[in-house]
Structure formats: structure tokens, C-alpha cells
Structure 1
């Protein structure tokens, strides 16, 4: 597929390097993610509430940006919630929606240009896009700095990255309940909840990928459930269950599930007996470098003193105030 003279699906030379990703860099089973997304599609409307809420919050952040974007790409389109919000904003002329799962991409084709696309191997020519958006897709990428670097190269100078992904505080209650129950039932531990990016590291990831003017902020969406089993049902319905390659492959026993539900309720239930599940959402904003962007001043080049602006008295190093 080709866009209006500005977009192509040529495979950039950098993908040859990306194809050499070592086993040590692989944390998640991406083929399993694709299969789970495909299976979730039939009833996804019942479980799309988190994606829809994040899509609305991401679109609100776009309202603060006084720009139009002639050609943009959405990563992980799934239900199309973010695409609808972006089109409603009036700031995106042509939006290409993509998803790892072919059935989702085919469904989005009814809305406009659509692709089946793996975020780890971005098949987009350098300097093709004005913006890249995404809601809850990049947290399953094995090499997040590499994926961000590919996005930055695909952007035109001064092109925008605006994405949301799950942060490290997501599902901490479920992680703790699993750890307590598994030690009690089996005497050991295995990764049951996937690791997510840490808020403190997110800005550094953007800078490492070459983005200018990086901004990272976060909020928390808390959903309450009758039991931990209801939470796990929703995670399956979203296609967001554990993808860690080193996960325990045997089905969970009834004893373990019961132990998780009991530990969760005992440690986290509120006064009404409902249990909370926290989803930390990280919002990453960055711009592809451009000569027109503001640059920080060289250290020592200031022409006025901060003390003067604040109406105070400047005290030099080693001097006693007053």
C-alpha cells in the first residue's frame, strides 16, 4: 500500500540489524501475543474499556499541540478507539491504522488505510510520517529503545511521537498475590505478571532513541472487581495475559487460583469486599529533531542573574549567607 505520494512500505536497511536481535533481548512471546489478540477479537467489545479510556486521554493531550499532521500512523489499533478520537480531533488528515493481528488490521481497513505490522520491525521508509500514535501496544515490545528509534527514523523532522503504554506499577496487587499464593502452594516462584517500563526510565528511553523535547507523564486507572478471578477474566478478554517466555507453561491448578483469590482479598479488598486493580499508564511525547526546534542555552551564557529576577541576593560558593 502507498499513501498520497509520501508513504512507502520499503524495508529500511536498519531492519537487517534488528533481525539480529539476540535471545537475551527476548522477554515476550510475540507470536503468542498475535494469537491471543486474534482470539480476543470476537468478544473484545466487552473488554475494551481500558483501551477506550486511554485513547480518550491520549487524544486530550493532542489538544494541547497546535499542529496538523498530514500523514500519521497508529500502532496497535485494535478496536479503533484511538483512530476515532484522532479523526474527531481534526488534526490528522490521513491516518494509517496498524495492528499485529491480521484480523484486527482487516477490520480497521473499513475505516481507511490499514496494515498488519509488527512494532519491533517497522516497515516504514525513513522520513515518511508526520506523527506516530499508539495506545497500549508498545509495552509488549522486547527492545523498546530499538522500536522507539525506528519510529523516530520513520518520522519527518519535527514529527511527533505520542503513545501510551503500561507502566511498572501496573497490576502490582496481582503480582503480590501470585507470589504469596505460589510460595504457599508450590514452594517456588515463576513470572506470572509481565514486567513493564518504569516511569523513571521512560524519559531516558526517549532520549536514547534520539527524540528531542521528551516529555513523560503518568496517571493511574483503578478498576475494582468482585474477585481476582474476575480480573483475570478481563485480562484474557483484552488479550493481555502473561507473555513472558520464561513463564510456567503448565495450567494453573485450582489450589493456586484459589490461593491467589484469597491472598488478593485478604491484602487488598476494600470495605465493600471488592478488590482494586491498578493500571499505571505512561504517556510518552517526543519530537524528531529539527533545526527549527528550541535549543538549550550553552552553560554560562545567561545575560541576567536569577537572583535579580527573584529579588534576592546572590551568594557565591564558600560565602556565608547574610
Structure 2
């Protein structure tokens, strides 16, 4: 029986380009890092709460290097991997035998999420732990409304489909992780303009990488988008929400 090929929702080329642009923008002193900072803090809190002290770890997607530095200072042998520089999350890993694999902010734009989780599990030692965090269902509700208003009667694909808590739990069961834990939290950020939000999305590789991204907004549609964004706020500030889903489990 032939294996089922996952649908091509995201473009690998656009995904890599977005992350490469992010790496360049992160060289700026005021680059937005609030989502990766939240994910790193969460990983460290989980390890502390569980009193889990891995000897080896693979960190995927942490463009700040902060998690690797903290783990290294604690005596952990850390390997870092970045999709922008050739690491393939939807292929078997070129290394294995890790006590911990932390995947931060990348799995929301893979076409084969179950397959990516299987590759993580295979790269763990028996008794090893995975912690995977990424944007989930409910993220960017204002931007979704803005794009719908701007497109009018002919909405185009502009915002990514996302995974919810229930689906996350089903994924962990399907990929045979033991003692699965699914957590959901949000980060609210205020913006004084839609352009500032878009800048933060670019700086964190959160822009549209769909295989069929739709046409660019024209001048009238862009003006409508700005108006809708401003109307959604108060006092010249619009608060956007980022929902983070964290999946964790063990290889038994």
C-alpha cells in the first residue's frame, strides 16, 4: 500500500526565505523576540519543575541561541539546528540519541506535522523528552479580520491554518509519545500601527509562507486594512494576540 502524501499547504522555498530574512532582521538591536523568549522561558521552567537534567539536547529554531547557552552552562552537550540553513524537519534527522529535543516556533509551517513529530521521537534516546512550541489556533485574530475586510467579497489565502489543543493531543497519541502534555497560553502585544505588527511578524518569521499565498493587496485594500486595524484598538493602540501551543512527551 502506498503511503499517503501530505497536502502541500506551505511552500518550503518561501518558508526558508522567511526564516533567512528573520535571521537578517534579528541583527537589529530592536528586533522583536518576545515569542521566542516566551518559549525559551517555558522550556527552562518545565525542566526545572520536572527536575529533568539532560546530558544531551537538540535545540531547533532558537535563532537567539539563548536556550543553548543556558543549557551549555548547566553542562548539557547541545546541538543546534535551523531550518533556514538546511535542517530538514520533515526528513529523518542526521543525528540521534538525545535526552531532550526542544523545537521552538517552527512546526506550525511544516506540511507533514505527524511525520515531523515521528522524526523527533526517533532522534530521542529511550527515556528522552520532547518539548515543541509553536503558534496555534486563535493566533492573530485582528489580522485575520483585517485581511477579510481588505479582501472584501473575494477573500484570498493570507493567514496560516493552525493546530488547536485537541488536535495537538491527538498528534501526540498518534506519534506514540508517552505521558503526553498539551498546554496552551497566549501573549498579547500592543501595536500603534499595522506596519509595526507586520514588521514584528517579519522579524519573527511569521509572515505568509503558504504555497498559494494569494495576490498582494492593492492601494485601496491596503488603506482598508489600515483603517480596520486602527478601528480594532483604543487610544491609538491595537492589541494582537499570539496563541502558543506546547506539546511535550517522552520516548519510552
Corresponding residue number in structure 1 for 2:79: 96
CA distance in structure 2 between the partners assigned to 1:222 and 1:85 by the alignment: 26
- Contact persistence 1:171–1:277 (CA under 8 A): yes
Q: Is the 8 A contact 1:58 1:283 kept in 2?
A: no
User: How many pairs were matched up?
Assistant: 248
Answering whether residue 121 of structure 2 is matched by residue 152 of structure 1, we say yes
Partner of 2:18: 36
Secondary structure class of the residue paired with 1:170 = coil
Moved beyond 6 Å, runs of 4+? none
1:150-299 correspondence runs (5 A) = 150-183=119-152, 187-248=153-214, 250-266=215-231, 268-270=232-234, 272-289=235-252
How well do the aligned residues superpose, as a CA RMSD in angstroms?
Answer: 1.9
Counterparts in 2 of 1:160 and 1:47: CA distance versus 1, 3 Å: same
Residue number in structure 2 paired with 1:8? none
Cα-to-partner distance string for 1:285-310 (whole Å, 9 max, x where unaligned): 10012xxxxxxxxxxxxxxxxxxxxx
Give, in whole Å, the separation in 2 of the partners of 1:242 and 1:86. Answer: 32
Instruction: Pick closer, same or farther for the CA change 1:174–1:84 going to 2, 3 Å.
Output: same
Matched, 1:73 2:37: no
- Normalising by structure 1, report the TM-score: 0.72
SS at structure 1 position matched to 2:26: helix
Structure 1 unpaired stretches of 5+ = 1-16, 103-115, 290-322
Describe the SS at the equivalent of 2:50. Answer: coil
Give CA deviations for 1:83-139 in whole Å, capped at 9, x if unaligned: 234335x2x62010000122xxxxxxxxxxxxx41111132456x221111221111
- Aligned match for 1:47, one of 32, 49, 55: 32
For 1:276 and 1:233, how far apart are their aligned partners in 2? 15
The 1:74/1:199 distance shift into structure 2, 3 A limit, reads: same
**Cα separation, 2, equivalents of 1:26 and 1:83:** 32
Specify the SS of the correspondent of 2:55: strand
Q: d(CA) in 2 for partners of 1:171 and 1:76?
A: 21
Which digits, 9 at most, give the CA deviation of each residue in 1:24-79, with x for residues without a partner?
52111122111222223222141223212321222212211222212211111322
User: Please, what TM-score do these two structures have when normalized by structure 2?
Assistant: 0.91
Whole-angstrom distance in 2 between the partners of 1:209 and 1:71: 22
Which protein has the larger Cα radius of gyration, Structure 1 or Structure 2? 1
Segments of 5+ residues of structure 2 without an aligned counterpart are none
1:84 & 1:256 partners in 2: Cα distance? 45
